[in-house]
């Protein structure tokens, strides 16, 4: 679900790749991005939808990564920094990709183009993204319904490719809402789904949890007052940096927990127990409710000890390892209910 106000963490973890001098920008120009391909689709509304992928001709599972709430390109390159490219999605090491033995797919948001969008920015930062590429109906999409519709268009294209054996979604932060929405859609487009830093009830519940942890009684009261404004159709035009239209869709009319109740795909939840953006209690709640209400659903909940929003721990990153473990589990006829914490 999520978390516009906390995505500085994702951008702070951007990875830079060396690029030789070149007249035009291409994935091939960056050593860390060599081998990436781009396919461009057009939605029924006329929006551009790119699919960026490490893929081949061999028929294999496809791990499909759905990015979070920033309306920024999956891979960005700035005109004034020709030696760098920045990634706003989880990247796997060569060893992790080899271990996966799968196609790795990244779904670009509508009308956003990697290596082009944001290229004129003086720097790649949260402030510049909000200034130069704010989320709108046409730029990146604004509502959950829009994002789910776009993702379904991209995933249905993948489904038609002979080299795609099965589709396994990885929702990151707000991408978890989208992944859950895709899985809940009629005629499921996914064989399984993984939620990273995004499982739980409405984001308003998260706000209340954090305020209570700080002993901020007035802050808790403010959360309920804010929610009441949304429910009374008197919400402000913007809220915490985003259009209230976004909040109505993602945090009032829908939640990941609601969406999960409308699907039965094998579900893998990975959440850091030190996540300062989405409290681990939200993931606990989601896992317990799914296990309780859908006892026949294959469910794996991995609480990453010391992990933050992107599963970084004091001992190092765990996100790539989690994705590898997820695919092994999802492609091995999963069943039952598993909880793990380490």
Mean pLDDT over residues 208-224, rounded? 97
- C-alpha to C-alpha distance for 194 and 246, rounded to whole angstroms: 23
287-335, pLDDT tens digit by residue? Answer: 999 999 999 999 999 999 999 999 999 999 999 999 999 999 999 999 9
Question: What pLDDT, on the 0 to 100 scale, is given for residue 186?
Answer: 78
Among the CATH numbers 3.30.9.10, 3.40.605.10, 3.40.50.10470, 3.40.50.1820, which is that of 43-68+89-109+137-201+255-341? 3.40.50.1820
36-93, pLDDT tens digit by residue? Answer: 999 999 999 999 999 999 999 999 999 999 999 999 999 999 999 877 889 999 889 9
Local confidence band at 2 (pLDDT 50, 70, 90 cut-offs): low
Show me where the domains of the chain are located: 43-68+89-109+137-201+255-341
Of residues 25 and 88, the one with the higher pLDDT is: 88
């Amino acid at each position: 679900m999520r978390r516009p106000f906390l995505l500085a963490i994702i951008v702070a973890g951007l990875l830079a790749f060396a690029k030789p001098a070149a007249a035009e920008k291409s994935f091939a120009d960056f050593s860390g991005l060599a081998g990436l391909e781009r396919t461009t689709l057009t939605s029924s509304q006329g929006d551009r939808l790119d699919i960026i992928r490490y893929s081949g001709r061999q028929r294999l599972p496809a791990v499909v990564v759905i990015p979070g709430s920033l309306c920024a390109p999956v891979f960005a390159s700035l005109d004034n920094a020709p030696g760098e490219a920045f990634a706003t999605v989880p990247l796997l090491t060569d060893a992790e990709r080899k271990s996966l033995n799968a196609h790795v797919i990244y779904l670009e948001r509508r009308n956003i183009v990697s290596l082009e969008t944001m290229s004129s920015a003086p720097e790649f930062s949260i402030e510049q993204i909000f200034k130069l590429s704010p989320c709108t109906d046409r730029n990146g999409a604004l509502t959950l319904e829009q994002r789910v519709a776009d993702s379904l268009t991209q995933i249905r294209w993948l489904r038609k490719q002979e080299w795609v054996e099965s589709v396994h979604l990885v929702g990151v932060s707000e991408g978890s809402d989208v992944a859950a929405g895709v899985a809940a859609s009629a005629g499921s487009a996914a064989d399984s789904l993984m939620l990273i830093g995004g499982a739980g009830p409405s984001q308003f519940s998260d706000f209340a949890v954090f305020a209570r942890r700080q002993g901020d009684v007035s802050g808790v009261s403010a959360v309920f007052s804010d929610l009441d404004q949304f429910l009374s159709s008197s919400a402000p035009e913007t809220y915490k940096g985003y259009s209230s239209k976004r909040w109505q869709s993602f945090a009032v009319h829908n939640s990941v927990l609601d969406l999960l109740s409308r699907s039965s795909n094998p579900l893998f939840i990975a959440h850091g127990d030190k996540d300062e953006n989405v409290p681990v209690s939200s993931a606990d709640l989601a896992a317990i409710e799914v296990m309780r209400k859908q006892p026949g659903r294959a469910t794996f909940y991995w609480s990453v000890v010391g992990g933050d929003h992107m599963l970084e721990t004091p001992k190092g990153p765990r996100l790539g390892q989690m994705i590898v473990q997820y695919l092994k589990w999802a492609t091995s006829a999963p069943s039952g209910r598993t909880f793990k914490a380490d």
